[in-house]
Amino acid sequence: MSNQNFLTTQELFVTQDASDDALLSLIAPTQEDTILFTLADHVRRQHYGTDVFLRGLIEFTNICKNNCYYCGIRCGNKHITRYRMTEPEILACCEEGYTLGFRTFVLQGGEDPENTDDVMCRIVSAIRARFPDCAITLSIGERSRESYLRLFRAGANRYLLRHETADPIHYARLHPHSMSLENRKRCLYDLKEIGYQVGSGFMVGSPFQTPVHLLADLRFLQRLQPDMIGIGPFLSQKDTPFADYPNGSLALTLRMLAILRLMFPDALIPATTALGTVHPEGRELGLKAGANVVMPNLSPMRLRKHYTLYDHKISTGEESAQSRALLEQRIIAAGYRAITDIGDVRRS
C-alpha cells in the first residue's frame, strides 16, 4: 500500500466515508495488507474488545426449490441425498447447543416448500418457549412480508439473507430468471422494517465478479445498514453449472473483511465456514482481519455431509459445535476470547 493509500485508509478509519476510488484501491491486490488488517483489528477492539460471539448453526433442511447456479443444494442437483429435520430433532440440537454454552441458534436451510409459515412458526415458537434467553436466527431465504412478520411474532429475532451481489446484471448471471435482486432487496428491507436484526452479505470471487461489483456491494450495505455482514469465498461444487470455475481467494476475502470492519465499525462480522474451508487457518485469519463472530455447526453429525453448498466443506473439526473447547483454544491463540452471550450488535 502506498503512502497515499495509507492516508486514505486512515481517513476512512476516521470518517468511514471513503470515495469510490479509495475503496477500489483498497480492494485491489497489494503487498501490504498488514496495515489494513492492523487498522481493522484496532477498530474491532475499540468496539468489541477481544470478544468473539459464537452462534450454533443448524442446517435443518437441504431441500430447495431454487436453482442458484453456484449452490450445491440447488433443486437441479440430482446427486444429493435430501433431508429435512423434524421439530424434535431441531429442539434436540438446540438443547445440546445450550448445554455447550450457545445462546444463539441459527436455523439455516434451503427454500423448502414443506416448511410453510405454519410449520416454521411452530418450530420457532417451540424454541422460543424452551430457550427464552436465546436469540433465534432464521436463514431460510426469500419469503413474503407477511411470512416474515408471522415468524417474528412467533419469536424469531434475527434473519440472515445475503444479497449475494448488488449488481443486477451480475445477479442474473448467478441465478435463474425466476429470481431477482429486486426481490432479494425487498426482503431485506421488509425484515428490517419488521424489527429483525438483519444480516446480509456476498460471496467473494464468484464467477464474473469484478472489483466494481464489490464496490457496489459495499455501497448497498451502506444503504441497508445491516447488523451483521457475512462474506465468504465462492467455492465450486462439482454438481453445479459453476463446477469448473475457480474458487474465490483467501487474500481477497480477508481484504474485504478488513474493509467491512473499517466501514462498519460496530457490525457483527462472521469468520465463515467457507473461509475455514479455503484455508486451514482461514477463520483465525478472518478474526485478525476484523471478524468477531464464529458459527460452529450444531447439525446432527450424520446429516452434515449432505449440506453440500460447496465441495470439501469442513464440518467435523473446530467448526463443529461439539469441539467447543478446541475452538476456544484456537480463538485464544489468535488473540481473542469466545464468550457465552446472546451477542447482540453493540451500536455506538
Shortest distance, CB of residue 296 to ligand SAH, whole angstroms? 15
Nearer to ligand SAH, 39 or 187 (CB): 187
Query: Residue 336 is placed in which grid cell?
Result: 481473542
Q: Where are the alpha helices (DSSP H) in the chain?
A: 3-15, 20-27, 33-48, 87-99, 117-130, 145-154, 168-174, 181-194, 211-224, 250-263, 273-278, 282-288, 301-304, 324-333
- What residue type is 320 in one-letter code? S
Of 104, 139, 297, 308, the one binding ligand SAH (CB under 6 A) is: 139
CA atoms of 250 and 67, how far apart (whole Å): 26
Q: Which residues in 193-212 contact ligand SAH (CB under 6 A)?
A: 203
Nearer to ligand SAH, 274 or 293 (CB): 274
Nearer to ligand SAH, 74 or 324 (CB): 74
C-beta atoms surrounding 2 within 10 Å: 10
Do the beta carbons of residue 316 and residue 327 sit within 8 Å? no
Does 304 bind ligand SAH (CB under 6 A)? Our answer is no
C-beta atoms surrounding 65 within 10 Å: 12
Which range, of 37-45, 106-114, 118-126, 329-337, touches ligand SAH by CB under 6 A? 106-114
Question: DSSP characters for 255-269?
Answer: HHHHHHHHHSTT-B-
Of 70, 152, 264, 336, the one binding ligand SAH (CB under 6 A) is: 70
Q: Which residues in 256-295 contact ligand SAH (CB under 6 A)?
A: 274
Q: Which residues in 146-165 contact ligand SAH (CB under 6 A)?
A: 161-162, 164
Q: Which residues in 1-60 contact ligand SAH (CB under 6 A)?
A: none
Shortest distance, CB of residue 77 to ligand SAH, whole angstroms? 11
Of 256, 310, 334, 336, the one binding ligand SAH (CB under 6 A) is: 310
Which residues are paired to 227 by β-bridges? none
Nearer to ligand SAH, 108 or 292 (CB): 108
The site that binds ligand SAH (CB under 6 A) totals a number of residues, namely 19
CA atoms of 308 and 313, how far apart (whole Å): 7
Reference 227, options 191, 274, 271; nearest CA is 191
Which range, of 30-38, 172-180, 216-224, 229-237, touches ligand SAH by CB under 6 A? 229-237
Query: Residue 211 is placed in which grid cell?
Result: 472489483
Does 232 bind ligand SAH (CB under 6 A)? Our answer is yes
Does 111 bind ligand SAH (CB under 6 A)? Our answer is yes
Which range, of 26-34, 77-85, 115-123, 228-236, touches ligand SAH by CB under 6 A? 228-236
Nearer to ligand SAH, 25 or 61 (CB): 61
Nearer to ligand SAH, 41 or 112 (CB): 112
> What is the DSSP pairing of strand 135-139 with strand 104-109?
parallel
Q: How far from 78 is each of 67, 166, 173, 316, CA to CA, in Å?
A: 12, 29, 22, 25
Residues that bind ligand SAH (CB under 6 A): 70-71, 108, 110-111, 139-141, 161-162, 164, 203, 232, 234-235, 237, 274, 309-310
